[in-house]
Structure 1
């Protein structure tokens, strides 16, 4: 272990501690009262992410009030977590991840979340919201997508467009050759045309993120996921069970829903790409505690709530 790694690890622990201390303030905010005409807001939550999730949920609900809130509970969620959920969202629907396991589809890796979306989307518009997100300002694009029953996903900063599966497959195949062990998402993208799209060059792909996506009512079904999963498993074998395949599947599903859209950067972005137009941030992985932005935005949001109640 070099000295740089030691200090980076120490700094991250400090950042996590400071953020969690601030996030606990969400428990002092009023319970969320659901609306009547909003979307279903669905998330898969781990024990360590309960407080960040409540921040994500409540900051989002200030701009688009959901009619239902569904938590697909990871196996780490315990009784105390469930109590916190119900205190903050009295009408919350708690479902266990195993309820959405399906033969022919990987277990784990948030696949149960995507299968749950496929279940709920038969009756309502569903928005998947990761726990490590915050809504900072009006999310007009998302509201319009919901009103028009248009599906969406958050894209990457360098590409906010649908691309043909033929083009993505060629690009991914060339990149796979440059790595001894290419990332599973790249492996899957290399098989887009032959497996995911079943040879149909008219299909599309979005190199987006499953952490924030909207699915129009009636846009896809559990059977669609099973069929996609079986085609991909036949192509890539046991690698299909790896973490990251659910995001690939979500990207493919959204891309091929008629009329679906990719949210524009940097209005919807990651903390390393924030500017004055940013309304929604996904505090993903290595950028989570960048420059203290997550902590600052959590404190800003909680401060607004407390001032409104004063």
Structure 2
């Protein structure tokens, strides 16, 4: 396989170094990067020779000129920009003859995917979504176990609790991530890949209820084809259990399946590289794989919370003080 040329949009963001590392680890080249913020020294660790732009118009000109002047092209454009810009940047990639590799959430609404399918077909290019949990060894093992059990008992319904708290400071709510219109809110920001993983293993969402929705916490209930799920997501440090705080940790992640804690705290460091390896082999996750989780978070965003009624996650009491 010949080396591929990459460009990167959103190069100064939190997740961008994982993409830089993945490009390097797979033996490919980053030729251009874009970000309005110019504090991009991390690029020296990966691709110091890459052209860097803070203005989209100059980046656009470079991508076009690169193809015309060198007889080469940008093969892939990796997108790490704010969520609400993903749709536009994916379109830019396809118009320039590149495949798009986009961070989650791919877009904010399912109808955006419907339009991207049309553009993908017109351009002949591909759109890939980073859904790295599908490549995590523990998640793959769980899927294989569940598939075996469901083959023996197709009507089995699993009982699942998903709890994910990842502390964020005051900056979070000043940034685009704290703006519902730009990020999609907590569920889109930190929950979308967990929803994707659960639906991948246990089937599509058949019922979607929101119990709690605040700027820093969301909670609700899913009925999947083969599971019921109580979920709680937050960026508020105060809601982390005291025993976890005592260890100095600012993140708490827990998934229980029929009361059994599932361990997958490790194994995340190379999942972007694994994602790129699969994409380069033509096995990446495309628009169809992204559709379910995007539809789920879009629905959550538009549902009215019903409060502490029905089968709600116990962490709701931490927020509502009951």
Higher-Rg structure is: 2
Structure with bigger helix share is 1
Q: Same fold (TM over 0.5)?
A: no
Greater relative CO (CA pairs within 8 A, separation 6+): 1
TM-score (norm 1): 0.32
Structure with bigger strand share is 2
